[in-house]
Amino acid sequence: MSSPHGTLEVTIVEARHLKDEDIVGKNDAFVEVYLDKDYKLRTKTIRNSNDPTWNEKFTFNLSRSHEDLHISVYDDDTAGKDSIGSAKIDLRKHDFTKGPYDEWIKLPALLGLRSKGEIHVTIEHHQ
């Protein structure tokens, strides 16, 4: 199946059970979304929550070379940002003709031993 092209509307809905091993207490979480490292979009930061809700929508132009949507969740802190976890969605595996992608995605820990939480993402594809 070839990669779709057109536009991709990505909604970062919410996250749950976010864990940052270095932080005691709650995260100040935000999400970066990108198809290309050169063009990253990010949500606003939700303070003091391990279960933040963003409901933010991003639009990307999709070319045939785009295969994965990258999602990284960070804790915003005074020294910069700490990675909570990241995931990627293989756009070729979802049949957008059957409707939008709507999933909770696990943020695996580095060794995959335990989850860093989950993020709820919806994706609509428009030709």
Domain count, the chain: 1
> What is the number of residues in the chain?
127
pLDDT in tens, the chain (127 residues): 455 579 999 999 999 999 866 556 788 999 999 999 989 999 999 999 999 999 999 999 988 888 999 999 999 987 888 889 899 999 999 999 999 999 999 997 666 567 789 999 999 999 8
Q: Is position 46 within any domain? A: yes
Q: Is position 67 within any domain? A: yes
Q: Is position 1 within any domain? A: no
Q: Is position 72 within any domain? A: yes
Long-range interactions of 23-28: CB distance < 8 A, separation 24+ = 23/75, 23/77, 23/82, 26/50, 27/52, 27/75, 27/84, 28/75, 28/76, 28/77
Residue 109 sits in a domain whose CATH number is 2.60.40.150
Provide the residue range defining the domain that includes 17. 6-126
| pTM for this model (two decimals) | 0.90
